[in-house]
Amino acid sequence: MLTIELIETIARLNRMRIPEPMTHAKGAGAHGVFIPYMSMKEYTKACFLQDSNIETPIFVRFSRMMGRAGSADTIRDVRGFFVKFHTREGDYDLIGSHIPIFYIRDPQKYPNLISALSPCPQTNIRDPERLWRFVAENPESMHMITWLYSDLGTIKSYRTMEGHSVHTYVWQNVKKECFWVRYHWKPLLGTKEISRQEAEFLAGFDPDVASRDLSDSLREGKKIYYELCVQIIPTIQETENELSILDPVCIWPESLVPLVRVGKMIIFRGVNNYHEEVEKAAFSPGNLIPGIALSPEPLLLATVFACMDGQRYRLGVDASNVNIESSIDGIRILDAVREKGEVNNNQLALRLQSMSSQEKKCLIDNMVEDMLFIDEGIQKTIVGYLKDVDLEVGASLEKWLSL
């Protein structure tokens, strides 16, 4: 006979799992603190950056962008690097990834990008031609490809992975002076990637290797240190033509905008309940505090809605307490670049020039492995993009694809 207690238990089991998010479904989380090295009040009135004696509790979530539950941690993908600062003025979410740029700048293209990165709807199996067709049709994505298809695209430890805000934000101080800012997390253990071959081996041998590494390290009492650095540009400052301030497809070259060391994050405790602490963690770039605002970057503003709406769907209407300040009086709305195509080529050329011969060899090898059996027209388009900026690299890809 069914009892009330059994019925209630079954009902709780049926409701225990919540819908997976569209992206960054598989991840790992941990707790720690953030401590600034010095006051940043010259640039922002954000409360947790005013005094080097302030310790702000944080929760960090690492993830794979397109990784579903049960997928392998080492597969080539973008990794999420999300940090929630529990400040005295509310929660501030800093959302980023381990690659400093993104595929696109136009939010209208986002649905097609997610479709291209997702399994084929007929077979539910990844079809590489879907992504390469998208790249061929959207040449601004080529810059991202040179990062993703380097060995940076395959990692096995979150403890040796960088994080970048990708998007541009605004800082404002008490004098109402405003600054464009981008964030960068640097692991004090140093960075480390793995080859495609090791990634494929680990995907079968230990698909949870990155999550396990984080959990085991914290359980053994090891602390994990990350340094927060920022790039800062006054909003009234004119910039070089090749620097696009509000373009997530472009990096800010450190030669033009040096890194400023802000503080360190110390991760020292894992989670007690993955479902409650990690799966239910709601992050959004719209979770802001005074002194930090969203820039008018279109993709960033679209991401705010995507995160908030996803949380409402998964966790209910009261999932997050969002405090959005999307603009600040006095900032100069700008388009720092006239010709987007020229910027794409400049950034792609600089990226390839910065790579060593071995890094270029790995890039070509990884691209060939993924492109070998796709449509020849798409192959020729990708080769053409590379030849436009680096004839040697483009010719190498052309040779290995037997075009």
Q: Where are the alpha helices (DSSP H) in 243-356?
A: 274, 298-315, 340-354
Q: Which pair of structure tokens corresponds to residue 206?
A: 């230990």
CB 283 within 8 A of CB 307: yes
Q: Which residue has the tokens 């960090």?
A: 60
**What SS3 class is residue 205?**
helix
Q: What is the largest CA-CA distance in the chain?
A: 77
Of how many residues is the chain composed? 403
pLDDT by residue, tens only, the chain of 403 residues: 568 888 888 888 887 778 888 888 899 999 999 999 999 999 999 999 999 999 999 999 999 999 888 899 999 999 999 999 999 999 999 999 999 999 999 999 999 999 999 999 999 999 999 999 999 999 999 999 999 999 999 999 999 999 999 999 999 999 999 999 999 999 999 999 999 999 999 999 999 999 999 999 999 999 999 999 999 999 987 665 556 899 999 999 999 999 999 999 999 999 999 888 988 888 999 999 999 999 999 999 999 988 888 788 777 755 555 555 544 554 555 544 444 566 678 899 999 999 999 999 999 999 999 999 999 999 999 999 999 999 999 999 999 999 9
Query: In this structure, what is the dihedral angle of CA atoms 101, 106, 107, 109, given to the nearest 10 degrees?
Result: -100
Measured on CA atoms in the order 95, 99, 101, 102, is the torsion positive or negative? negative
Distances (CA, A) of 245 to 126, 232, 350, 397: 34, 10, 17, 31
Helix %, strand %, coil % of the chain (to 5): 35, 20, 45
Q: Which residue has the tokens 């060939």?
A: 368
- pLDDT at residue 319, as a whole number: 56
What is the domain partition of the chain in residue ranges? Answer: 23-141+152-339
- pLDDT at residue 317, as a whole number: 58
Strand boundaries in 255-369, DSSP class E: 260-269, 292-294
Q: Which pair of structure tokens corresponds to residue 167?
A: 């998007």
Listed in sequence order, the residues at least 6 apart from 30 whose beta carbon sits closer than 8 Å to its beta carbon are 59, 60, 214, 218, 224, 267, 269, 270, 271
Measured on CA atoms in the order 185, 189, 192, 198, is the torsion positive or negative? negative
Q: Does domain 23-141+152-339 have CATH number 2.170.120.12?
A: no
Instruction: Tell me the one-letter amino acid at 324.
Output: I
- pLDDT at residue 146, as a whole number: 97
CB 76 within 8 A of CB 197: no
Distances (CA, A) of 282 to 276, 308, 379: 11, 8, 40
Instruction: Tell me the one-letter amino acid at 242.
Output: E
Candidates 192, 323, 268; CA nearest to 33 is 268
pTM of the complete model beyond 0.95: no
- pLDDT at residue 237, as a whole number: 76
Instruction: Tell me the one-letter amino acid at 28.
Output: A
Q: Which conformational region is residue 316 in: left (phi greater than 0), alpha (psi within -120 to 50 degrees), or beta?
A: left
Distances (CA, A) of 210 to 152, 199, 216: 14, 11, 10
